[in-house]
Every structure is written in structure tokens, then in C-alpha cells.
Amino acid sequence: MTLMQPSWPVPSTAGVDSAMADELVTPALAAVREAGPSITRHFLTALLLSLFALSALMHAAGLHIDPWRAGNLPYYAAGAVLLSLRFGLPRTAWRHAVPVARFCEYAGLFTLISLMGATASYPVAALTHGYADVALQRVDEALGFNWLGWYRTVAAHPVLQLLGTAAYRSIYVTPALLLWAKARAGQHAEAYRFIAGFWLAAVITLAVFSLMPAVGPFSHLWHGAIPYMPESELWQSGLIPALRAHSVHIVDLAKLRGIVSAPSFHTAAAVLYIVAAWRMPSMRWPIVALNVAMLLSTPVEGTHYLIDMLLGAVVAVVSLALIGFYERMQFAMARRDRAGAPTSVAAAG
């Protein structure tokens, strides 16, 4: 039987075969190397652009990060571990290599976004003017919210202080649980959708913060002896003026402080977490309960006005809407490409 040879030139595969022979491609490595969805590529591009924007903000505010400070060592160590696991595990035969490698990828990106957002709040604050506390407090009064009453209640009950602090700090516990679940389930696109929403909420929060900087209700309303110091303490009233006066020149990553009052990013994060968990029946109610507790702790532990929290919820809704719009746009473009493919082939023939 004679084999038919094509009339067009066929490229040699010898080089490819030898290259593959030189590298052991495990099933885990092949799975991790699969082309990711478009949201992955687009998000990483946006993240890179936001790094350039952060650098420009730092320069404009006369701030910089000293890379040789000892406090940065834990971040360097954590980054090295995550990178080694992300790129090393897929080359092994361990059956959990893919989900663990993916989780390291997600955790690294989430941590990077958190650091970038907290760092960016410093130059943004340095470039602002005035305070919005009077207006924010007036809105709270119109809503019937008594921040001082909440604070006095917590200050009088040590159990509420303990529970509130734990709940407020859980902002990084929930995403670890969610991202691990998505890594185990192989939901790569869903994981990037969640991370992109978190990044977008941080960007919007910083943009709104630049328009309404505030020292928060603790500094604005409480003027006596302090019976209980919340988790967020009183950093806004001292740090924001110092940043504006350019008396602070170095942003210490080991001592980043929360200085954004409005919108409340804890609230935005809680809404994003609850929405993400709602699609996961096994985790839905524990995560809802944990984040409701975080929301209840936010006025005192985060020293936030109620309107801060309402604005934070709006930030989350806008972020989710923008991600949804992006996905619909990508779906429409893919459908249009599929519809146009047969026409293009026919025209070529």
C-alpha cells in the first residue's frame, strides 16, 4: 500500500522531538501548561500596568520602598517558596501537584494585590487635601447610626473585643479557603475571576478614597481617655498629615497601616467573598457567617462610618458588574468569531 504524500512542505519535527526528550513532561506539568482563559492574560496585563501606576504615584508623592529593610525578608521568603512550589511541583509525580501549584499561584497574586493596594494608599493620601469626616458623619446621623454607641458597647465587653478583632483579621482567611477550593476543583477561570474582582475593588477603593480622605470616626468623634484601642488604632489622624507634609519618605512594607476610611475595603472584600462562596454549597454558610461577623466588627475595629461600609458594598457591586461585563464581551466576541469562521473559509475557497 502506497502512502499519499501531501503536496505542501511539511516541517521537520526532529527538533521538537529532541526538545521533548530532553525534558520530562509529567501529566501535572502538561496540565499546568495548558493555555489559560483570556481573563488570565488580560488580568496579568492589567496587574502589570497597575504596578507601573503605583510606581508613578510613589514618585509623585516623594515616596519609595527600601528593598533592603529587614522587615521585607518575610515577603521575599514567602515569594521564593510560592514560586518554587508553583514551578517545581508540576515536574513531580505527586498526585496533588497541580492543585497545590495552582494555589501557590493564586495566593501569590492575591498577596501581591494586597501589598500593592496597601502601599498605594500612602501616595494617594499624600496627594489629597482636606477631610470628609464632617460630611460622612452627617450622612451617618441621617441614617440613624450611632458610632459612639457601638464603640462604647465594645469597649465595655472584652468578649466583643476579642471576637471583633478575630473577625476583622479574617479578611485573609476566607480568600485562602476559597482559592484552595478552586485550585482543588480545577476552576482556574473562576479563581482568576475572583482575584480580578478583588484587584478591581482595590483600584476603585483607592480612586474614591482620593476624593474623600478622612481620619475616621474614632479620631473625629472620640476626644476623651481611650478605654479600648481598636485594631485600626488612630493612624489616619497622624499618618495622613505626615504624608501630605512629605515628612514620611519610606513606605515600610512590614509596618503598613490601614488609612482608607471611605470606602471600607473590608466591606467590599466581605461582599466579594460571600458572592464567591454562594456558588460553593459546602462552604457557603460558614463563609457567610464569618464575613457577617467581619462586617459587624468593621465599624469599631476598622474605625469606619456606616456610610464607609455602604460605599464599600457599592464598590464590590461595581467590581462584580464590570467583571460580568468583561465576560459577556468576551463571550460575544468568541461567538462572533465562530459565526464568521465558515464565511471566511468559503470566501477563501
Per DSSP, the residues of 82-149 read HHHHHHHGGGS--TTHHHHHHHHHHHHHHHHHHHHHHHHHHHHHHT--S--HHHHHHHHHHHT--HHH
Query: pLDDT (tens digit, 9 = 90+) per residue, 46-75?
Result: 999 999 999 999 999 999 999 999 999 999
Range 34-67 burial, b when 16+ CB lie within 10 A, else e: eeeeebbeebeeebeebeeebeebbeebebebee
Please report the pLDDT score of residue 27 as a whole number: 59
pLDDT of residue 16: 41
Cis peptide bond prior to 158, omega within 30° of 0: no
pLDDT for 333: 84
Rounded to 10 deg, the angle between the 97-126 and 73-88 helix axes is 150
Extract the residue ranges of the chain whose pLDDT is less than 50.
1-23, 32-33, 35, 344-349
Residue among 9, 38, 32, 28 at smallest CA distance from 196: 38
Determine the 3-state secondary structure of 168 from DSSP: helix
In 3D space, the residue among 151, 122, 139, 108 whose CA is nearest the CA of residue 62 turns out to be 122
Question: Which residues are CB-neighbours of 157 under 8 A, at least 6 positions away?
Answer: none
Joined together, the cell numbers standing for residue 85 give 512550589
pTM for the whole structure: 0.87
At 337 the pLDDT is: 78
User: How big is the chain, counted in residues?
Assistant: 349
The confidence score (pLDDT) of residue 342 equals 57
Instruction: Answer whether 114's CB lies under 8 Å from 206's CB.
Output: no
